[in-house]
Structure 1
Amino acid sequence: MTFSDLKGANVELTFGENRQGMEARHVLVVLKHEGKWLVTRHESRGIEFPGGKAEPGESIEEAAIRETIEETGVTVKKLVKFAEYVVETDPPFCKAVFTGTIESIEENPVLYETGGALWLSDEELDLCTELSFHMKDTGMKHIRKWVETHGG
């Protein structure tokens, strides 16, 4: 599916590998645990799923695990990459979308750039007025539906 994000960039969302053959170096982790979505509050963007960029020498799976720990204190396991976004900015980039299961939840994590883990129900997420622009795009509904249907 293709759409424009709220900043006007063209986005292609594919379930599986992207059709443009672009290597993913960004990650997004979409987890639902005990009926609630794992999100965090980014300092400047607002409420969003954890994610970020892979560091040099790091696989996207390692980046997904690290970013989730750094932003929420939650350690994920059994990662499944189920989708990719190609965002046509300058330069364009590809973001791999993962789900998985919870291995552990740190009680007092050291956090980077966020306010830590928030657990929101479907209704709370749907009604949230503090969502980052990433969370409001057309593809996010489809990503959440995939996670609901296929689980982690």
Structure 2
Amino acid sequence: MHIFKDFYRNEVKLSFDDHPFSKYPKHVWVICKYKNKWLLTRHKDRGLEFPGGKVEDNEHPSDAAIREVWEETGGVTESIHYIGQYIVAGKGGTIVKNVYTASIKELLPQKTYYETHGPILLDALPADVKQRKSYSFIMKDDVLTHCLDYISTHARNRNG
């Protein structure tokens, strides 16, 4: 388990175990790639971030993750995998969020991208993302760092 402070100095607990904080989290976040590029979205208020959002009533979190990618980027999910879960106890309450990694098979234009301006493709994430004003606070804590390390390590282990 990783414990650290987020952008707003709230304590975050991140685990790569199977749903350690809730079997039914109310939020999802999807670290996704399309054609070997990172697929982000530009949130209208927060800036650049990976797609994510709230789980609707009677919706499975993985279905919410697929829906959020579609709504915010027009991305059609080819595969999606749960990698971990984190919990943040903030001033507005406690949030439990599943983190997924997804491979996107195509991007389709949307009439609306809801609260975002649509897809953004990047060859690489900048090393100084925490200092960049164009990025959302969601990208500026160690959830992203630990998840990218986890994804990288598990991809190497799968590939030999």
Q: Aligned pair in 2 of structure 1 residues 6, 127: CA closer, same or farther (>3 Å)?
A: closer
**Contact 2:24–2:61 (Cα < 8 Å) also in 1:** no
The separation in 2 between residues aligned to 1:55 and 1:95, in whole angstroms, is 13
What TM-score do the two structures reach when normalised by structure 1?
A: 0.88
- The equivalent residue for 2:66 is 65
CA distance in 2, matches of 1:33, 1:148: 16
Identity %: 35
SS at match of 2:127: helix
Q: Which has the higher relative contact order, 1 or 2, with Cα contacts under 8 A spaced 6 or more apart? A: 1
The alignment of Structure 1 onto Structure 2 pairs a total of residues equal to 150
Maintained 8 Å contact 1:73/1:110: no
The match for 2:105 is 103
Structure 2 unaligned segments of length 5 or more: list them.
156-160
- Residue 104 of structure 1 aligns with an amino acid whose one-letter code is E
**Corresponding letter in the other structure for 1:139:** V
Residues 39-118 of structure 1 correspond to what in structure 2 (within 5 A)? 39-89=40-90, 90-118=92-120
Root mean square deviation of aligned Cα: 1.9
1:24-47 deviation digits (Å, cap 9, x = unpaired): 110000012333211111011111
TM-score, normalised via structure 2 length: 0.84
SS in 1 for 2:68: helix
Structure 1 gap segments, 5+ residues each? none
Aligned residue number for residue 141 of structure 1: 145
SS of alignment partner, residue 126 of structure 2: helix
8 Å CA contact 1:10–1:88 kept in 2: the answer is yes
The 1:18–1:8 alpha-carbon spacing in structure 2 relative to 1, beyond 3 Å, is: farther
**Does 2:26 match 1:25?**
yes
The ranges of structure 1 where at least 4 consecutive aligned residues each deviate by more than 2 angstroms after the TM superposition are 16-23, 32-35, 107-110, 124-129, 145-151
Q: Deviations over 1:105-148 (max 9, x none)?
A: 103453111111101122x5335521111101022111122233
Distance 1:20 1:60, change over 3 A: closer
Give the distance between the partners of 2:148 and 2:106, measured in 1 at CA. Answer: 22
- CA distance in 2 between counterparts of 1:117 and 1:61 reads 20
**2 CA distance for matches of 1:65 and 1:146?**
21
The answer to whether the Cα contact below 8 Å between 2:71 and 2:114 also exists between their aligned partners in 1 is yes
User: Could you tell me whether the CA contact under 8 Å between 1:68 and 1:75 is conserved in 2?
Assistant: yes
Instruction: Tell me, in whole angstroms, the C-alpha distance in 1 between the residues paired with 2:58 and 2:44.
Output: 27
CA distance in 2, matches of 1:103, 1:35: 11
